[in-house]
């Protein structure tokens, strides 16, 4: 019997052949799709890795639009861009900021853990390089009588001082923070409002971030087993309060505010002064702006 | 009770938070162990992939050395972590921009690869022993066969194909793992002593020489313990390999140090005072002189004289011991030395490793011994020596 001029057996064979070819084509298509998908994902991951290395702006990957907003009543982190200013011309080295910070943030009361500290630069007559110390220097600790109390010893009495000034230091909350880049778990990250914070409940305590920070701003808290650093008192600024160090500074050497507000103290400070940042060559783009420092400060 | 905070004295100006050294002797042990893994695997691969048949007496042994070290590699890291119970956070939510985040994946992959390769290498032995062994260990061997009892020529050819493929994957795997360890240090811009593009290559070549040296020392030691003769052609090939890779290592280290000094960036004064002062003995005398130049001269002399005489075995073994010391010192000088130079570029810290405690010398020493304890157990279960096959053949019914 013939249908359409072909024997049924031949037609059946043809159908089987077509089914087989169709099946093979489907498998080929599927494998092609799978191959393409794999190639795309590998390319994307390589591009991501290479890009993150070459672009030197990997920290941005940590802050995406999908980042969950903090549940702080009345606070929208998309509305602020915090920054910090230091007017070294005003600082008198009273160290009230260091004391306030330690108390506010439960920083261990010893000479090896600081969220903020103050450096003293003294250039004596006839000397080219400044002599530098901080409140954590053994001579200054001896003068204060305790590691939990802070004072600069009068160690240059009788010397001919050519230049002397104090420089408060703290985390620079960099735009491209090296610490965020190296954190293996993402426990340290940059918030939408420009603050670099650490999730103490997620940090594994590897201290890679401590190594990566060129400013020595991070320390390891042995009691908690995690890394810690300045957060610009995030718990305060999100409630409309200034950081503790800014609040207690008696001379206004520390300036804090929102760069989105052009009339804020920090916007005015940056606008009205020729500000500089520490170690700009690192590419970290710090957000602590200095006035009144010289070449010795880094 | 040990003090929780261990601070170190300093000269010049260092940042207040820098008086604590973040990475201690445990982090010296970590790259040292990964280096031994890569080096021992290289020796094994020279036989498996590149057909260096003279290395047959140590090829399987080198694989076991590599496996023993690799299993212990995460231990110093876990001991060092402030919150080791959260270590898997790096695997669950790896931060893709972090060099460290890759480690857990790379290490896990490499352990699996080594276990697979070991299984394929020793499958014939496991299958035969499972059928002959009496007592409780018979069940261990039976389990280790994983139900694959076929020892026909066809099956063994299939094994060989797998072995070749695994070794091919393992070469970039092992070397990539160690190059990556160099990248962990070299990519940090905060420390001038570490920040070098050559760091991964230096770590890699020093890894190969340390692993080769370890296989030499352990092989000679095992021959003494087993009261068998050292296979001289095998030892010679390993000595040649050691010599060749040492040339590369020394060259790279020299170029790296020269470019650091020649660039003379900010802080070079402090680095030079460090190199001429505290680093004089560990760097110039122990690492460079005693550990690198002396064994290189000894092996060069042996190569020049065509490896003659009765002194060959002790000379090569002693040279290998010195190379092991040199690479350990290199790791110490990089990891600890980099942290002794303050980030300020204006001061130096003096690290004094504590003896006791979690980050002490005793703990680090115990971690360093662990691979050898593991190895001594492994070689009893899976004898890697060529004569083991002969023994098995005699015992076969």
Read off φ and ψ for residue A249, nearest 5 degrees: -65, 120
Give the residue ranges of chain B where pLDDT is below 50: 1-2
Residue in chain A closest to B87 (alpha carbons) equals A204
pLDDT at B310: 77
| Mean pLDDT along residues A71-76 | 85
Task: Kindly determine whether residue A226 and residue B83, on different chains, have CB atoms separated by under 8 Å.
Answer: yes
| Helices (H) then strands (E): counts for chain B | 14, 2
Higher pLDDT, residue A20 or A238: A238
Distance CA B62, CA B117 (A): 12
**Best of A204, A208, A210 to disrupt the B interface by mutation (most B CBs within 10 Å)?**
A204
Residue-level pLDDT at B100: 87
Give the whole-angstrom CA distance, residue B160 versus residue A237: 66
Q: Tokens in use for B353?
A: 């490793």
Do the beta carbons of residue B220 and residue B235 sit within 8 Å? Answer: yes
Residues of A within 8 A of B30 (CB-CB) are none
pLDDT given at position B304: 86
Q: What pLDDT was estimated at residue A62?
A: 43
Confidence of residue A236 (pLDDT cuts 50, 70, 90): very high
CA distance B63 to chain A (A): 30
Q: Enumerate the residues of chain A whose CB falls inside 8 A of the CB of residue B189.
A: 178, 214, 282-283
**What confidence score (pLDDT) does residue B132 get?**
84
A17-32 tens-digit pLDDT: 444 444 444 444 444 5
Shortest Cα distance, chain A CAs vs residue B316, angstroms: 39
Is B5 in contact with A210 (Cβ distance < 8 A)?
A: no
Q: Identify which of B83, B90, B191 has the shortest CB distance to residue A184.
A: B90
Nearest CA in chain B to A129: B346
- Cβ pair B22:A187 closer than 8 A: no
pLDDT digits over B17-28, tens only?
Answer: 999 999 999 999
d(CA B133, CA B215): 29
Tell me, what's the pLDDT at B393? 60
3-state SS string for chain A: CEECCEEHHHHHHHHHHHHHHHHHHHHHHHHHHHHHHHHHHHHHHHHHHHHHHHHCCCHHHHCCCCCCCCCCCCCCHHHCCEEEEEECCCCCCCCHHHHHHHHHCCCCCCCCCCCEEEEEEEEECCCCCCEEEECCCHHHHHHHCCCCCCCCCCCCCCCCEEEEEEEEEECCCCCCCHHHHHCCCCCEEECCCCCEEECCCCCCCCCHHHHHCCCCCCEEECCCCEEECCCCCHHHHCCCCCCHHHHHCCCCCEEEEECCCCCCHHHHHHHHCCCECCCHHHCCCCCEEEECCCCCCC
Question: Phi and psi dihedrals of A228, rounded to 5?
Answer: -145, 160
Whether this model's ipTM surpasses 0.85 comes out as: yes
pLDDT category, A44, cuts 50, 70, 90?
Answer: very low
Residues of A in Cβ contact (< 8 Å) with B350: none
Q: Among A1-10, A24-33, A94-103, B47-56, whose mean pLDDT is lowest? A: A1-10
Element (H, E) at B348: strand B346-349
Q: Are B35 and B210 in contact (CB under 8 A)?
A: yes
Helices B25-48, B56-72: crossing angle, 10 deg rounding? 150
**pLDDT recorded at residue B225:** 94
Q: Tell me how far CA of residue A42 lies from CA of A28, A130, B93, B106, in angstroms.
A: 20, 53, 19, 16
User: Do A242 and A266 touch, CB atoms closer than 8 A?
Assistant: no
At A127-159, the pLDDT tens digits run: 999 999 999 999 999 999 999 999 999 999 999
Give the β-pairing of A254-258 and B10-13. Answer: unpaired
Interchain CB contact of A108 with B (< 8 Å): yes
A101–chain B nearest CA distance, Å: 15
CA–CA separation, B291 vs B322, rounded Å? 5
Q: Contact, B126 vs B145, CB < 8 A?
A: yes
Which among B20, B89, B98 is the nearest to A219, CB-wise? B20
Closest Cα in chain B, distance from residue A208 (Å): 8
Residues of B with CB under 8 A from a CB of A: 4-5, 7, 13-20, 22-23, 77, 80-84, 86-87, 89-90, 93-101, 103, 184, 188-191, 266, 339, 343-346
* Contact yes or no for B17 and A219 at CB 8 A: yes
Is the minimum CB–CB distance between A187 and chain B shorter than 8 Å?
yes
Q: Distance between CA atoms of A186 and B92, rounded to whole angstroms?
A: 11
Q: Which residues of A touch B4 (CB under 8 A)?
A: 222-223
pLDDT confidence of A59, banded at 50, 70, 90?
very low
Whether chain B has a CB inside 8 Å of the CB on A75: the answer is no
Is residue A213 over pLDDT 90?
A: yes
- Sheet strands (E) in B81-182: none
């Amino acid at each position: 019997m013939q249908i359409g001029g072909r024997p049924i057996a031949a037609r059946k064979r043809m159908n089987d052949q077509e089914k087989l070819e169709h099946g093979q084509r489907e498998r080929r298509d599927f494998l092609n799709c799978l191959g393409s998908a794999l190639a795309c994902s590998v390319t994307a991951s390589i591009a991501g890795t290479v890009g993150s290395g070459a672009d030197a702006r990997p920290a941005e990957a940590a802050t995406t639009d999908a980042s969950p907003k903090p549940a702080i009543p009345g606070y929208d982190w998309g509305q602020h861009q915090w920054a910090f200013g230091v007017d070294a011309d005003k600082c008198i080295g009273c160290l009230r900021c260091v004391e306030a910070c330690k108390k506010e943030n439960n920083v261990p009361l010893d000479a090896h853990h600081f969220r903020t500290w103050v450096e003293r630069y003294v250039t004596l007559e006839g000397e080219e390089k400044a002599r530098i110390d901080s409140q954590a220097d053994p001579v200054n600790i001896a003068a204060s009588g305790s590691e939990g109390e802070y004072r600069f010893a009068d160690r240059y009495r009788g010397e001919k001082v050519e230049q002397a000034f104090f420089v408060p230091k703290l985390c620079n909350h960099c735009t491209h923070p090296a610490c965020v880049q190296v954190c293996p778990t993402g426990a340290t990250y940059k918030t939408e409002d420009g603050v670099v914070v650490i999730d103490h409940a997620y940090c594994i305590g590897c201290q890679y971030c401590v190594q990566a920070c060129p400013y020595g701003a991070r320390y390891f808290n042995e009691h908690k087993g995690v890394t810690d650093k300045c957060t610009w008192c995030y718990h305060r600024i999100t409630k409309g309060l200034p950081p503790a160090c800014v609040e207690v500074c008696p001379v206004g050497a520390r300036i804090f505010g929102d760069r989105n507000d052009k009339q804020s103290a920090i916007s005015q400070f940056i606008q009205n002064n020729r500000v500089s940042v520490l170690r700009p060559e690192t590419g970290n783009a710090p957000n602590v702006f200095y006035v009144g420092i010289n070449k010795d400060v880094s | 009770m040990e003090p929780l905070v261990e601070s170190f004295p300093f000269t010049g100006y260092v940042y207040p938070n820098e008086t604590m050294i973040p990475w201690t002797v445990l982090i010296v042990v970590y790259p040292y162990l990964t280096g031994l893994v890569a080096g021992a695997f290289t020796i094994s691969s020279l036989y498996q992939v590149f057909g260096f048949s003279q290395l047959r007496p140590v090829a399987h042994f080198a694989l076991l050395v590599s496996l023993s070290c690799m299993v212990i590699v995460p231990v110093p890291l876990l001991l060092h972590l402030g919150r080791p119970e959260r270590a898997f956070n790096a695997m669950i939510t790896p931060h893709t921009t972090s060099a460290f985040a890759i480690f857990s994946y790379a290490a896990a992959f490499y352990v699996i690869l080594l276990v697979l390769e070991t299984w394929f290498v020793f499958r014939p032995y496991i299958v035969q022993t499972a059928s002959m062994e009496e007592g409780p260990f018979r069940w261990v061997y039976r389990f280790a066969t994983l139900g694959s009892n076929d020892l026909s020529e066809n099956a063994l050819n299939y094994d060989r194909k797998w072995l070749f493929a695994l070794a091919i994957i393992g070469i970039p795997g092992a070397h990539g793992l160690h190059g990556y360890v160099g990248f962990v240090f070299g990519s940090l811009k905060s420390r001038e002593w570490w920040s070098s593009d050559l760091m991964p290559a230096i770590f890699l070549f020093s890894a190969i020489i340390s692993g080769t040296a370890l296989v030499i020392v352990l092989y000679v030691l095992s021959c003494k313990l087993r009261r068998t003769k050292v296979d001289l052609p095998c030892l010679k090939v390993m000595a040649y390999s050691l010599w060749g890779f040492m040339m590369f290592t020394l060259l790279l280290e020299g170029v790296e140090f020269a470019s650091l000094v020649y660039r003379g960036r900010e802080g070079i004064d402090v680095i030079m005072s460090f190199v001429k002062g505290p680093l004089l003995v560990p760097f110039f005398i122990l690492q460079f002189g005693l550990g690198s130049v002396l064994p290189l001269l000894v092996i060069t002399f042996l190569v020049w004289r065509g490896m003659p005489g009765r002194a060959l075995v002790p000379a090569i073994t002693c040279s290998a011991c010195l190379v092991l010391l040199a690479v350990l010192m290199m790791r110490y000088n990089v990891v600890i030395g980099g942290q002794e130079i303050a980030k300020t570029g204006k001061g130096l810290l003096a690290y004094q490793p504590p003896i006791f405690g979690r980050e002490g010398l005793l703990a680090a020493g115990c971690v360093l011994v662990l691979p050898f304890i593991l190895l001594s157990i492994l070689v009893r279960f899976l004898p890697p020596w060529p004569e083991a096959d002969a023994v098995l053949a005699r015992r076969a019914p």
